[in-house]
Amino acid sequence: MDPKESSPINTLAQLTYDLSNLEKTSKKLYDTIRKHANMPELAKAVHPEQTGIMSHIKRLKLIAQEIGKVDAKDSGSLLAPIRITKQLKKGSERDLWLIAKSQQIIYQKLPLYKVAHAIATHLQLENSALILAQTIEDNEATSTWLQRILPRILNGETIIPIASNESKITI
């Protein structure tokens, strides 16, 4: 077997490429979730500034720079689009489903980030390992926040006041 073909750096390049595509798709899915969320806390939890998704994309570009130009193959879209069915009523019923979909997005990304982090650490790519660790923490923090919102929805609590015009909710 050719050592270049089995190199961990090639795997890291592929993971970085896949994660970059996942993050871009995640941003679109989070935007859909925000649009359909009833509870302001849920809309805020998946806001790009809160999730750090744009930082994640920039970090992945930095990793690609650190490891050099390595060709990665397109593995296609790894996330299915979110389709809001009419069976889900607006309000807490829909918000609970949206939390489940948000968590699904996070848990699809986390294993890839953790493997990429292990490879970067093994290859002694300190900058890449550091920014991957930060991104893992960001995703875990978003997941924790969503878990904390869940009982509030179930109990009918709202911490952030509902604005009179949904499009004017400030995040």
| pLDDT tens per residue, range 85-113 | 666 667 788 899 889 989 999 999 999 99
* Segments making up each domain of the chain, as ranges: 8-71+87-168
CB 125 within 8 A of CB 66: yes
Supply the pLDDT for residue 93: 83
Residue 125, pLDDT > 90, answer yes
Supply the pLDDT for residue 80: 57
Supply the pLDDT for residue 76: 56
Which run of H or E residues covers position 162?
A: none
Supply the pLDDT for residue 6: 52
- Model pTM? 0.78
- Based on DSSP, count helices (H) and strands (E) in the chain, helices before strands: 6, 0
pLDDT averaged over every residue in the chain: 82
Exposed/middle/buried for residue 124 (C-beta within 10 Å: 0-12, 13-18, 19+): exposed
Supply the pLDDT for residue 83: 64
What residues have CB less than 8 Å from 22, skipping those under 6 apart? 78, 79, 108, 109, 112
Question: Which residue is it, tokens 């993050």?
Answer: 23
Digit-coded pLDDT (tens) for 9-56 = 888 988 998 899 889 989 988 998 899 888 888 999 999 989 999 999
Q: In degrees rounded to 5, what are phi and psi of residue 47?
A: -70, 140
Domain 8-71+87-168 in CATH 3.40.50.300: no
Question: Which residue is it, tokens 């996330």?
Answer: 79
CB 132 within 8 A of CB 113: yes
Supply the pLDDT for residue 77: 56
Supply the pLDDT for residue 74: 62
CB 67 within 8 A of CB 9: yes
> pLDDT higher for 1 or 27?
27
